[in-house]
Structure 1
Amino acid sequence: MKMKKMLKAVTALVVVAAVVGMLFVSCQKPAPKTLTLMQNKPEIDAQLKAYAKLWGDKNGVTVTIKSIGGTSGGMGPQLKADYAAGDMPDIFAFDGLEAYKEWEGSILDLSSEPWVSKTSVAFKYNGKVYGFPVAVEGWGMAYNADMLAKAGIDPATLVNLDGYRKAFAKLDSMKKELGINSVVSMAAAVEMGWVTAHHNFNSLLSNGLPYGDLSVVNALLKGDVDMQRLKEYADWVELLFKYADKTVLLTGNYDAQVGAFATGKAAFLHQGNWTDPNMKAANATFKMAFAPHGSMEQATDGIFVAAPSFYAINKDSKNLAMAKKFLNDLVSTPEGHNYMVKEAGMIPAFSGIDLNPDGQLSKSVQQWAAAGKVYSWNQYYFSGDFRDKVLTPIYNQFAASQITKQQFIDLMAKAFKDNAQK
């Protein structure tokens, strides 16, 4: 009996020792390195994932890219859900002041990062740098130059409402001859509010004003509405909606809107140079460029150019050093340069990058910027909820002819006044 008890005891000790040994070995095994980036440009999803794989393999890291935007919903709600679940990404994009204020408790100060000295468009707040500029982007009205030439329309006339009225009417009368379904490819579905209540809205806020001029923004934030400027802007919105393909306008997603222009079925596109990869994918070889928005009776000679969004690093991330390296390598390595410019087709926001994008629309943005003919992006001085939940439905109702132009004007004016009282 004693021998049996002794054997049992020895066996138990061996088992315990084995378990402890396994636990010790498992504890010594390094945890796999991971990095998560959430971004708001679905049009570069494939290119960013390919670069992330390349960079991850080189640095021994598994990089997960989450692309939220376009018709897949806004990043704000997803970030809030991830925050509530304790699953915030290491790096995430934000689009401006209001978004920064919403997440400033989670955003790391990046002022001492090496890339800061190489850009003039980093996101700054109270003298400190918190955002890595994703790119420089711009938009006006993209036009098919070959088609305009065939119709005898000089793009130089596209600087105000009158110029666009004449051009749109002429193109509309030649739809069969030109092989187009509509003059303009424009989307105004609720899911496409970033086209109407973000990009188009900015025409009201900054068109014709010196770069950085916030006079219209500040007045509207106080509820003070320049009714003449708003009426002319409503004429512009009405003009775009009138000459747009109704199916694309009311139900079209990003691909439908961009695809109509890329395949020669529309003469104009209300989007920016971020569509260059789509043009390349569609083998769109016709000449194209940007003209100013014609949102006023007076002529304006510029397009909207700025950094579209910024990467922030989650200050509570367990991978701070790796997140910093990911961003810095975009600026400091040939692979990073190639991804930004050649693969994603973006205009780099940093000096010291010799590559230039191949896309015609990006080249057009660079030409406008080089000439100093640019207007600010001021839409982000208004909250995401105001743009998406208040303004977007107003544009959508106008597009669907559920409200008149006067009602559009009245609802917009009321929205600004109500917003000022909050």
Structure 2
Amino acid sequence: MKAKLAMLMALILAASLFAGCGSKDTGGTDTGGGAVQPTGETVVIYQNKVEIGEPLMAFARKYEAATGVKVDVKTSGGDSPYAENLKAEFQSDRQPDIFVIEGMGGYNTWKSKLTPFEGEEWMGLTDLAFQVDGVVYGFPVAVEAWGMAYNKNILDQAGVDPSTLTSQQAYRAAFEKIDSMKEELGITSVVAIGAGPDLRWVTGLHNFNGYLSAGLEYGDTTVIDKLNAGEADRERLQEYADWVELLFQYADRAVLLTGNYDAQVGQFGTGKSAFVHQGNWIDPWLADNGVDFPMGFAPHASVYGEHDSIFIGAPSFYVLNNESKNLDAARAFLNHMATTEDGHDYMVNQAKMVPAFTNVTLTPDAPLSADVAMWVKEGKAYTWLQNDMPDGFGMGTLG
């Protein structure tokens, strides 16, 4: 796991070193000026990130124009339960060629449907592929991270220095102060967080990851190993419960209990909350809605003690359906994404992601992804482990 943290750092450093050194032409594949004839092949990709749905469809159209292979992008996520909808796709005649799994939990659910990647060019460009017993099954979608995203303007007005937000005591004092100034600051709540049926993944997966890895060295799986063996660290769990209670206490009740993704992120994006419990994947939403105030991440104080890191990892992976009749075309599409200027432009500039590949020389200009790059450079990361829980435990039992 330490090697994975080193890989995350190398990705950011490489992008920084090469930024501005290469051609700015992201025109991509040269089709020779003529129309490419359709091949008759259609690759169906079923993915779980609503934020990248439109950019991915645009990239797919560009790919079709260059190669003649149609790529049909289907998206389920955000307010819609991806895992449940994916199972419905497989129970019908709509099985995708490419779909998404997250961690060992996803692998254990879908392993009978997977076929490995072998000899792909992109495999030599990342150490973050999903592997089981040395066999590569997953193409890393992106490096992602979350912390307590904050509106710097609001914190400045309130006299709160985000660098001091490293413990539950510090957050409690800051929340109390900001809450007492809500009218002056023009906000309706201190924290935008959702725990309703549309946002079970926020509380049941992401927030719970604080119990699993906050304050521990990167790669430390002590807590989740105990959890998966049916054992809880009761003292740590109580500390985590105190954090949840603090977040809920200073949240907007309507957003907390019944709000959807747009309501939660919109509260932050419109300057009506000082913090939002989300990650750098909200960058496309912020860009689409013209949000331009300065922002960044502070650590989650998920348990007692001091915290100096945010949660960083490559949690989502494109995998291949072993019953697909278009496996070669599916492999080619993913390889194109990882190895061409068009693919790099899509990942960084259009989808606002931090790619998991060392050959990408573009750097993110989206505010939260840029902040993630800073945390990665400094080696300040806690492990992303919630996807290694049993399938359904986070979203079903906890969410």
Query: C-alpha offsets along residues 174-221 of structure 1, whole Å, 9 cap, x if unaligned?
Result: 101110010000000022110000100000000011111110001122
Which has the higher relative contact order, 1 or 2, with Cα contacts under 8 A spaced 6 or more apart? 2
- After superposing the two structures, state which structure 1 stretch, 58-67 or 166-175, moved more: 58-67
Equivalent residue for 1:417? none
Q: 1:42 aligns with which of 47, 50, 54?
A: 50
Q: 1:283 deviation in Å?
A: 1.6
Q: Determine the C-alpha separation between the residues in 1 that align with 2:363 and 2:193.
A: 28
Equivalent residue for 1:350? 357
Q: Determine the C-alpha separation between the residues in 2 that align with 1:230 and 1:274.
A: 27
Give 1:349's aligned amino acid: A
1:258-273 equivalent positions in 2, closer than 5 A: 258-273=265-280
Q: 2:198 aligns with which of 191, 204, 221?
A: 191
Equivalent residue for 1:257? 264
What is the count of residue pairs matched by the alignment? 362
Q: Determine the C-alpha separation between the residues in 2 that align with 1:297 and 1:105.
A: 41
Q: 1:226 aligns with which of 209, 233, 254?
A: 233
Q: 2:76 aligns with which of 68, 80, 88?
A: 68
On the 8 A contact 1:42/1:70 being kept in 2, the answer is: yes
- After superposing the two structures, state which structure 1 stretch, 167-176 or 293-302, moved more: 293-302
Q: 1:224 deviation in Å?
A: 2.1
Equivalent residue for 1:331? 338
- After superposing the two structures, state which structure 1 stretch, 218-227 or 271-280, moved more: 218-227
Q: 1:383 deviation in Å?
A: 2.2
SS across alignment from 1:264: coil
SS across alignment from 1:147: helix
Query: C-alpha offsets along residues 48-90 of structure 1, whole Å, 9 cap, x if unaligned?
Result: 111111111211122111101111222x222322222243111
Q: 1:285 deviation in Å?
A: 1.6
Q: 2:246 aligns with which of 231, 239, 262?
A: 239
SS across alignment from 1:384: coil
Q: 1:283 to 1:31 in 2, by over 3 A?
A: closer
Q: Determine the C-alpha separation between the residues in 2 that align with 1:133 and 1:31.
A: 27
Report which of the two structures shows the higher radius of gyration computed on alpha carbons.
1
Q: 2:299 aligns with which of 292, 295, 311?
A: 292
1:139-154 equivalent positions in 2, closer than 5 A: 139-154=146-161
Equivalent residue for 1:310? 317
On the 8 A contact 1:263/1:282 being kept in 2, the answer is: no
- After superposing the two structures, state which structure 1 stretch, 76-85 or 272-281, moved more: 76-85
Q: Determine the C-alpha separation between the residues in 1 that align with 2:304 and 2:161.
A: 18
SS across alignment from 1:97: helix
Give 2:117's aligned amino acid: L
More helix by share: 1
SS across alignment from 1:64: strand
On the 8 A contact 2:39/2:68 being kept in 1, the answer is: no
Give 1:286's aligned amino acid: F
Query: C-alpha offsets along residues 151-173 of structure 1, whole Å, 9 cap, x if unaligned?
Result: 11111111110010000000000
Q: Does structure 1 residue 282 correspond to structure 2 residue 297?
A: no
Query: C-alpha offsets along residues 235-261 of structure 1, whole Å, 9 cap, x if unaligned?
Result: 100011010011111111111100111
On the 8 A contact 2:39/2:69 being kept in 1, the answer is: no
Q: Determine the C-alpha separation between the residues in 2 that align with 1:249 and 1:341.
A: 31
Q: Determine the C-alpha separation between the residues in 2 that align with 1:135 and 1:148.
A: 29
SS across alignment from 2:138: strand
TM-score, normalized by length of structure 1?
0.84
Q: 1:342 to 1:86 in 2, by over 3 A?
A: same
Q: 1:31 deviation in Å?
A: 7.6
Moved over 3 A (4+): none
Q: 2:41 aligns with which of 24, 33, 42?
A: 33
On the 8 A contact 1:184/1:270 being kept in 2, the answer is: yes
Q: Does structure 1 residue 181 correspond to structure 2 residue 188?
A: yes
SS across alignment from 1:357: coil
Q: Determine the C-alpha separation between the residues in 1 that align with 2:393 and 2:361.
A: 40
Q: Does structure 1 residue 80 correspond to structure 2 residue 69?
A: no
Give 2:357's aligned amino acid: F
Q: Does structure 1 residue 383 correspond to structure 2 residue 390?
A: yes
Q: 1:280 deviation in Å?
A: 1.1
On the 8 A contact 2:109/2:391 being kept in 1, the answer is: no
Give 2:183's aligned amino acid: K
Structure 2 portions without partners, runs of 5+: 1-37
- Aligned-residue sequence identity (percent) comes to 49
Q: 1:93 deviation in Å?
A: 0.7
Give 1:35's aligned amino acid: V
TM-score, normalized by length of structure 2?
0.89
Q: Determine the C-alpha separation between the residues in 1 that align with 2:186 and 2:118.
A: 53
Equivalent residue for 1:119? 126
SS across alignment from 1:32: coil
CA RMSD of aligned residues (A): 1.2
Q: Does structure 1 residue 210 correspond to structure 2 residue 217?
A: yes
